[in-house]
Chains A and B, each alone.
Chain A
């Protein structure tokens, strides 16, 4: 997804001189093409994320379209107050891109895990929170973010994520979309882990369970209209995210359900438990520990439907 991001921003910046790229001393060679094609518009801000966000806010307040990029946890938790005040309170339309969200950097340990970014950022007034699922959607989400009149946070994976939809429709902020139909249950996923939700739907289909799969790449604002339809139609809804169960996408949907008085379906939440990961292992392994592998998701849903 980072290659898709680098390629897309290079493409977009050639057509719009207001686009500037700030990076927190990562992406060795990733932005060489950007620098070659858009000279003077790339800034390596060093290992100083707080300053990078403030600088980005100042640029955004001065008529530019800056995009700030570094590892998810360092561009969210590290500089949260800069995002809260310099970006959101000042209404500065900065685009903040976190690479390696969730368990993308599982093997690097909890210093590099990002499981709280959506929780803390969706609490900020005026901030749009996006979680695209694959490289093509990273491109469409970036286009939508740059066209949006307000600050946007985008969490993406790192590299090698499968392409789930090679030709996604234009990204509409605040809109989810149904990818597969099915009447027995509905799996709503956000971001990277959509791939696992699709695996889960395959595994359920093999058991004769037809599951709808919905992607909600906008965590804030939620697609209330689509949620109403889903909650009115299904007797089991699974909320799936590569993020802590506390405060993330699933929490947001349940907040919506309480406020909208949307009762009916049984809700199962899939996400990271309330603990740090202490064991080594790559993303797939870590997902397994968190019950986020497709077959694990399918198993839990199947059991819930039998109960």
Chain B
């Protein structure tokens, strides 16, 4: 696949957001705000060409591993995988239906392309570190990209992983924090005083940068940059419910599900209707 332009990537992101909002309505599934805040990161991972993803052979041993550690954004992951061709888009219609493999959190048998079961917070990055160590040991050049949430930075296991990656100089790991400033019941800066988040990761031995996590060019540049001496992390400043004016930065959309009218309104705002 030739590398799409930034505007093409942005168009994919808008379409994915429309799909995800429809899924939430159809399947009566929450976590929509969290799903929308990380869509641009997923687009950068799966569509920009910065990472070597292999939809025709999801278990290709040389593929780059994309891990959605914030598994509650599964709707966005499934949509990215379907749009990228890992499985037919129609399969998304079965999301969260009784008997469907597409559960509300990604598991080992939910969809091809899912690297790690996630949903309980603070697991994905650490499993990714094992994959990165294995790459080194097996002489492979694949990389691991993990998307974690700010809420996940509450978990001690996230910081265990941060220490381990730095100690082992896992330069084949890149992480992105979807810093949408909200966790389930409050501002993430208030619940457990995450700020200053970039400095925390830097103090743990990572090359830590921060930028607007909806800025597609910045995301692609971050993923495309050559490895440094340390593992790299981007604190991605994002907006929960991004792309839909009546959801943006409103934490009710952690659990609320849109009505049919709200789906239509959102699609219009996204330029899809």
Residues of A that sit less than 8 Å from B by CB: 20, 40-41, 43, 45-46, 48, 50-51, 54-64, 66, 81-82, 85-86, 89-91
Query: Does B198 make an interface contact (CB < 8 A)?
Result: no
Q: Which of B117, B128, B135 has the most CB of A within 10 A?
A: B117
Q: How far is the CB of B123 from chain A (nearest CB, A)?
A: 6
Give 13 new A-B contacts, CB below 8 A, not counting A59-B137, A90-B108.
A20-B137, A46-B167, A48-B164, A51-B157, A54-B123, A54-B129, A55-B130, A62-B130, A64-B138, A66-B130, A85-B123, A90-B116, A91-B108
Is B131 engaged at the interface, CB distance under 8 Å to the other chain?
yes
Is B270's beta carbon under 8 Å from chain A? no
A21 to chain B, nearest CB (A): 12
Is the Cβ of B108 less than 8 Å from the Cβ of A55? no
Query: Would B133 and A58 count as touching, CB distance under 8 A?
Result: yes
Tell me the complex Cα distance, A50–B162, Å.
12
Query: In the bound complex, how far is the Cα of B157 from the Cα of A50, in angstroms?
Result: 6
B134 lies within 8 A of A63 (CB): yes
Across the interface, which residues of A come within 8 angstroms of B116, CB to CB?
58, 61, 86, 90
Report the bound CA distance from A40 to B134 in whole Å.
11
**What's the Cα separation between A57 and B30 when bound, in Å?**
29
Q: In the complex, which residue of chain B has the Cβ closest to the Cβ of A64?
A: B134
Q: Is the CB–CB distance between A54 and B137 below 8 Å?
A: no
A54 touches B117 (CB 8 A): no
How far is A90 from B167 in the complex, measured between Cα atoms in Å?
A: 26
Q: Given A46-B167, A48-B164, A64-B138, verify A86-B127 contact (CB < 8 Å).
A: yes
Closest A-chain residue to B109, C-beta based? Answer: A91
B132: chain A residues at CB < 8 Å are 58
Tell me the minimal C-beta distance from A191 to chain B in angstroms.
29
For B164, the closest partner residue in chain A by CB is A51
Any chain A CB within 8 A of the CB of B156? yes
Q: Taking A46-B164, A81-B120 as contacts, is the C-beta distance between A59 and B131 under 8 angstroms?
A: yes
Q: How far is the CB of A121 from chain B (nearest CB, A)?
A: 18
With A51-B157, A91-B108: A40-B126 Cβ-Cβ less than 8 Å: no
Q: Are B137 and A64 in contact (CB under 8 A)?
A: yes
* 107-131 of chain B: CB within 8 A of chain A: 107-108, 115-117, 120, 123, 126-131
B129 — which chain A residues lie within 8 A by C-beta? Answer: 51, 54-55, 58
CA distance in complex: A43, B133 (Å): 10
Q: Does B163 contact A59, Cβ atoms closer than 8 Å? A: no
CA distance A41 to B251 in the complex (A): 46
Tell me, in angstroms, the Cα distance from A43 to B168 when the chains sit together: 9
Contacts A/B (CB < 8 Å), 9 sampled: A50-B156, A50-B157, A54-B126, A54-B127, A55-B127, A59-B130, A59-B134, A81-B123, A85-B117
Closest chain-A Cβ to B156's Cβ sits at a distance in Å of: 7
Query: A91 vs B132: C-alpha distance in the bound complex, in angstroms?
Result: 18
CB distance from A151 to the nearest CB of B (A): 13
**B138: A residues at CB distance < 8 A:** 62-64
Complex Cα distance A266/B115, Å? 50
Contact A46/B163 with A54-B157, A89-B107 known, Cβ cut-off 8 Å: yes
Which B residue's beta carbon lies closest to that of A44? Answer: B167
A residues in contact with B134, CB < 8 Å: 58-59, 62-64
CB of B79 to closest CB in A, whole Å: 22
> Is A51 a contact partner of B126 (Cβ separation < 8 A)?
yes
CB proximity of A49 to chain B, nearest CB, Å: 9
What is the CA–CA distance of A199 and B43 in the complex, to the nearest angstrom?
66
B232 CB, min distance to chain A CBs, angstroms: 18
What 5 pairs across the A-B complex have the smallest Cβ distances? A58-B130, A54-B126, A62-B134, A51-B160, A48-B160
